[in-house]
Structures are given as structure tokens and as C-alpha cells.
């Protein structure tokens, strides 16, 4: 396994769990040395145990020397990053560098180079040409495509029990080997889609962009719900029960983030444009997503009567729950925009804080050890990531700790009535604000009473009478 990041390490550990002998390597030798000591480079539920179990079983090893790790392997997966370049296209330099590691080991038996990284349609064919042009390995070294569909936070379950496995190959021999690798999964009844290199590459992009589109679609509908006094959660539920639509990726929120959707949508747009094809729906999904982030800041500004000065408790910096990944995280983006507009931010996340501390934005944030500490004396609570522990927050306690009773539930995790009953003004996505602050517990100090009445006055001015709690 060349590349031991989120995909490489999970895939390596899971392939070992399926009974294969796997060696994971990475250009970051320190990462491999840490793994040799049993230390995980990132948080993924269940991963540490799975790695440990398979290392103990002798099926999983870590090797810092790239060439030594790949030499003699029957199949070499490449799971390196393919990050976006300035123009949106995918940076394939790590993929080609990894391919050259394998070429350099001059395999003397049939070896399958498996492109697991997400890369534009045509990349596998380019890798083939690279192999052919470098030396005479053409017959011994073949290329296959095996896109990965795991989701961080539930990656092990996703890998071991996927909806489907997609394999793109250019020969019957390569297909046979791929089928052998995935036999333990296909024997469970999981469909295996065997196709060409190009179609396999396209399936990955087309799937991710449809999911991103679904998110942007429900967010646009949610924005309209706010204007017409409909409730987007109920609307989403009513839509999602239609089996042709399905409930997943139909949750109103602050927009999509993470290491895949934004980058894959940009890359697909880019390589389609290079071929003279305009993908208007994908472009719109990205545009709506960018605007949704801005909309969350405007919403906060309206709820607080301005962002210059207030202290905001922001819960959730990982781009989704159960991961410490902050790539393109809506929480981090929101924190940055709050700071730009003059607010102070006290943030909390169960797992992602060390990663955030290493960023520029992170240096301007304050961090709290637990959600209630973040909320203490803040002017608003903003929930951006739907970690399970946030769903269980005691809203009455939150109301008693806040300086002003403002809750922005950007993931729609609370029942509006619970928030209002706790004395909070409830702002969400796809629902008009509901005022509970007026009925909440008495402020503890004169200063708080003053702050609260100032806020209520403002909120009262912005909502329509029909939106009253």
C-alpha cells in the first residue's frame, strides 16, 4: 500500500483483515515509524484495534522504505493524495511518483498497480503509457483502477461492507487478480462492477458530485423554506422517504466540506472543461456550497446584531463527526469568517483541536476542554459539526451559561421546541428563528439582563410576526 493516509491505512488494515498480506509504506517515513510503534496518525473509530490485531496476526506490516515495501508484491495499491491545484485540477505528482517507485523495482513477475487514489478519467491510461515509455515492463506491470468510497468516521465498516466494489481493468488477467483480492467481500453478496479503466475512474467522480449536488440542493430548498415558513427538516424527511430519492445526504446545514467533495467537484469541472464539456449542475453545486458558508455568517450576524465584538462558542471543527480531519471543514471556515468580522471565537471539538492548532486560523482561536466551558459567558452557541456528544447537550444548562440566549443549530440536531423551552432563541437552517429568550430563566446579573434585552429587541425586529415561537 503506497500512501498510508486515511484511505491507505484503512484499506491496508481491512485488506489484511480479509486475509491478505499487506505492507503499508509512505513517503512520510516518520508516519510509518510511528505506526510500527502502534501509534495511529489520525483518528478513525476502530482503526487502532484493527491495525494491532492484524499486525499481531502477521498479515500487516509497516515499512518506511518505499522500494522495499513494494518489491515482490503481486498487487501494489496507490492511495496517495491527489489534492487540488490552484486551477482546481487534481495534482497527480504523488501518483506518478508512486508509480515510478514500482517501475524502479523492476518487477520480474506480473504485478498489478492499482490506482485507488481519486484521479481524473484518463489517468490510469497515462500511468500505463508512463510504464511503457520507461522500460520494457509493459507486460509484467499492469494498471487497474479501484476507486474508494469509504467515508471517514465509518471507514472500516464502509470498506468491509461496501455497497459495491468497482474495478477497472485492461485485461482478463488483471480482472482475475482484482476479483481474487475482493473475493471475501463479493462472497458476502456485494456487487462487483467490473469495467474499463475510464468508466471506473468516472464512477468515482460522478458519485461524489451527485452526493455534493444533493447536499447543495437541500440547502437551497432549506433557504427557500426559511422564506416561506416551511420546515426544511420535515421537507427533507418527506422527500427522503421516497425510495427514488432516499434520505441520505439530504440534511440542511452549513454546506459540504472534507477532503473529497469540494476537490473532486472542482477537478471534474476542470477536466470536463478541458474537453469542451460544461457541467452546469456540478458548477452550481459548488457555487451554492460557497454561498451557504457565507449565509451562515450572515445568519449569525443577524442573530447577534453584528459580529464586531461578540464572543462565539463554536462547537465542531472536524468536517464531520467521528474524525479529526479538518480539510475544507465548514467549522474552520466559519471560525475564520467570524474572526474576520471581529468576533472572538472559543472553539471545541472532541478530536480535531490538535490539527486546528497547527493552522493559521487555529492560532487566533481559543479552545475549550468541554462544550459547556466554551459556552460560558459567550454571546452565542454555534453548532457546526453533529458530534453525538453535542446532541446530548443540556440546553437549560447552556442557556444559564450563555451571556445572551442565542443558539445557532447549523446541523439541525436539536428539537426547536426543546431550545425554546430552555429559554434560547433558536436559529437553524431551513426554519425561521424561534424566540425563547424572552421566556428563559432570569439573567443572573444586570449586565446580562441588559445584553439579553438588547438582543431580543434586535431579533424581534428581524423576524416576521408569524414566525413567533
Nearer to ligand NAD by Cβ, of 46 and 309: the residue is 46
Active site residue 260: yes
Q: Mark out the alpha helices in 150-279 (DSSP H runs).
A: 155-160, 172-181, 183-186, 197-228, 232-240, 261-274
Supply 34's cell numbers: 510511528
Q: CA–CA distance from 281 to each of 153, 295, 338 (Å)?
A: 28, 20, 30
Site size for ligand NAD (CB under 6 A): 26
Which residues lie closer than 8 Å to 447 by C-beta, 6 or more apart? none
| Least spacing, CB of residue 322 vs ligand NAD, in Å | 12
List 82, 115, 266, 329, residue binding ligand NAD (CB under 6 A): 82
Q: What spatial distance separates the first Cα and last Cα of the chain, rounded to whole Å?
A: 56
Give yes or no for a contact between 404 and 437, defined as CB atoms under 8 angstroms apart: yes
Q: Mark out the alpha helices in 229-279 (DSSP H runs).
A: 232-240, 261-274
Supply 39's cell numbers: 501509534
List 32, 80, 141, 398, residue binding ligand NAD (CB under 6 A): 80
Give yes or no for a contact between 146 and 115, defined as CB atoms under 8 angstroms apart: yes
d(CA 393, CA 375): 11
Residues 115-144: x/- map of binding to ligand NAD (CB under 6 A)?
Answer: --xx--------------------------
Give yes or no for a contact between 403 and 376, defined as CB atoms under 8 angstroms apart: no
Per CB under 6 A, which of residues 245..264 are in contact with ligand NAD? Answer: 259-260
Q: Which stretch binds ligand NAD (CB under 6 A): 53-61, 73-81, 194-202, 313-321?
A: 73-81
Task: Give the active site residue among 14, 24, 209, 260.
Answer: 260
| Least spacing, CB of residue 379 vs ligand NAD, in Å | 35
| Least spacing, CB of residue 442 vs ligand NAD, in Å | 47
Q: Which of 78, 76, 71 is nearest to 95 (CA)?
A: 78
CA atoms within 13 A on the CB side of 466: 6
Q: Which stretch binds ligand NAD (CB under 6 A): 1-9, 310-318, 350-358, 376-384?
A: 1-9
Residues 334-373: x/- map of binding to ligand NAD (CB under 6 A)?
Answer: ----------------------------------------
Contact between 329 and ligand NAD (CB under 6 A)? no
List 17, 152, 324, 409, residue binding ligand NAD (CB under 6 A): 152
Furthest C-alpha separation in the chain: 82
Nearer to ligand NAD by Cβ, of 70 and 432: the residue is 70
| Least spacing, CB of residue 394 vs ligand NAD, in Å | 33
DSSP tally for the chain: helices H, then strands E: 20, 13
| Least spacing, CB of residue 346 vs ligand NAD, in Å | 28
Minimal CB distance residue for ligand NAD: 5
User: What b/e string do you get for 353-367 counting C-beta neighbours within 10 Å, with b at 16 or more?
Assistant: bebbeebebbeebeb
| Least spacing, CB of residue 427 vs ligand NAD, in Å | 30
Q: Which stretch binds ligand NAD (CB under 6 A): 6-14, 167-175, 281-289, 360-368?
A: 6-14
| Least spacing, CB of residue 264 vs ligand NAD, in Å | 7
Nearer to ligand NAD by Cβ, of 102 and 225: the residue is 102
Q: What is the DSSP string of 86-116?
A: TTS-B--HHHHHHHHHHHHT--SS-EEEEE-
Residues 86-115: x/- map of binding to ligand NAD (CB under 6 A)?
Answer: --------x--xx-----------------
Supply 378's cell numbers: 459567550
d(CA 372, CA 313): 9
| Least spacing, CB of residue 271 vs ligand NAD, in Å | 14
Nearer to ligand NAD by Cβ, of 14 and 296: the residue is 14
| Least spacing, CB of residue 1 vs ligand NAD, in Å | 9
Q: Which stretch binds ligand NAD (CB under 6 A): 5-13, 136-144, 225-233, 452-460?
A: 5-13
Which residues lie closer than 8 Å to 324 by C-beta, 6 or more apart? 42, 43, 318, 351, 352, 354, 355
Residue 37 phi, psi dihedral angles, 5° rounding = -90, 5
Q: Which stretch binds ligand NAD (CB under 6 A): 23-31, 243-251, 282-290, 360-368?
A: 23-31
Binding site for ligand NAD (CB under 6 A): 2-8, 26-28, 31, 66, 79-82, 94, 97-98, 117-118, 148, 150, 152, 259-260
Catalytic residues: 260
Amino acid at each position: 500500500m503506497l500512501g498510508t493516509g486515511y484511505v491507505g491505512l484503512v484499506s491496508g488494515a481491512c485488506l489484511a483483515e480479509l486475509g491478505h498480506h499487506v505492507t503499508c509504506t509512505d513517503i512520510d517515513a516518520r508516519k510509518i515509524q510511528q505506526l510500527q510503534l502502534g501509534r495511529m496518525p489520525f483518528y478513525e473509530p476502530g482503526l487502532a484495534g484493527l491495525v494491532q490485531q492484524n499486525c499481531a496476526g502477521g498479515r500487516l506490516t509497516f515499512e518506511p522504505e518505499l522500494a522495499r515495501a513494494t518489491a515482490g508484491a503481486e498487487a501494489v495499491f496507490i492511495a496517495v493524495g491527489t489534492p487540488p491545484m490552484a486551477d482546481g485540477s487534481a495534482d497527480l505528482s504523488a501518483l506518478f511518483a508512486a508509480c515510478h517507485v514500482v517501475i524502479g523495482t523492476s518487477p520480474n513477475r506480473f504485478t498489478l498497480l492499482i490506482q485507488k487514489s481519486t484521479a481524473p478519467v484518463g489517468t490510469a491510461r497515462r500511468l500505463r503509457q508512463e510504464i511503457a515509455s520507461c522500460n520494457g515492463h509493459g507486460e509484467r506491470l499492469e494498471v487497474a483502477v479501484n476507486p474508494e468510497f469509504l467515508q471517514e468516521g465509518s471507514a472500516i465498516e464502509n470498506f468491509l461492507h461496501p455497497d459495491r466494489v468497482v474495478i477497472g481493468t485492461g485485461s482478463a488477467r488483471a480482472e482475475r487478480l482484482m476479483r481474487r483480492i475482493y473475493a471475501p467481500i463479493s462472497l458476502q453478496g456485494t456487487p462487483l462492477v467490473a469495467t474499463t479503466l475510464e468508466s471506473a475512474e468516472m464512477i468515482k467522480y460522478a458519485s461524489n458530485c451527485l452526493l455534493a449536488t444533493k447536499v447543495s440542493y437541500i440547502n437551497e430548498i432549506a433557504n427557500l423554506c426559511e422564506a416561506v415558513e416551511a420546515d426544511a427538516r420535515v421537507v427533507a424527511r418527506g422527500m427522503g422517504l421516497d425510495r427514488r430519492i432516499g434520505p441520505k445526504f439530504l440534511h440542511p446545514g452549513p454546506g459540504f466540506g472534507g477532503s473529497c467533495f469540494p476537490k473532486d467537484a472542482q477537478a471534474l469541472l476542470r477536466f470536463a472543461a478541458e474537453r469542451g464539456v460544461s457541467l452546469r449542475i456540478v458548477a452550481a453545486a459548488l457555487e451554492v456550497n460557497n454561498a451557504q458558508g457565507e449565509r451562515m455568517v450572515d445568519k449569525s450576524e443577524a442573530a447577534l446584531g453584528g459580529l464586531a465584538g461578540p464572543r462565539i462558542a463554536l462547537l465542531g471543527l472536524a468536517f464531520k463527526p467521528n474524525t479529526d480531519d479538518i480539510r475544507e471543514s465548514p467549522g474552520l471556515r466559519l471560525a475564520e469568517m467570524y474572526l474576520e468580522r471581529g468576533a472572538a471565537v472559543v472553539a471545541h471539538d472532541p478530536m480535531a483541536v490538535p490539527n486546528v492548532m497547527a493552522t493559521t486560523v487555529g492560532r487566533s482561536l481559543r479552545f475549550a476542554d468541554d462544550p459547556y466551558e466554551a459556552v460560558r459567558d459567550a454571546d452565542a452557541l454555534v453548532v457546526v459539526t453533529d458530534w453525538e456528544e453535542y446532541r446530548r447537550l443540556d440546553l437549560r444548562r447552556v442557556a444559564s451559561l450563555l451571556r445572551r440566549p442565542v443558539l445557532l443549530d447549523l446541523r439541525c440536531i436539536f428539537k426547536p421546541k426543546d431550545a425554546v423551552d430552555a429559554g434560547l432563541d433558536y436559529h437553524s437552517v431551513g426554519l425561521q428563528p424561534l424566540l425563547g429568550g424572552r421566556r428563559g430563566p432570569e439573567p443572573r446579573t444586570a449586565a446580562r439582563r441588559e445584553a439579553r434585552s438588547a438582543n431580543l429587541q434586535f431579533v424581534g425586529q428581524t423576524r416576521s410576526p408569524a414566525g413567533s415561537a
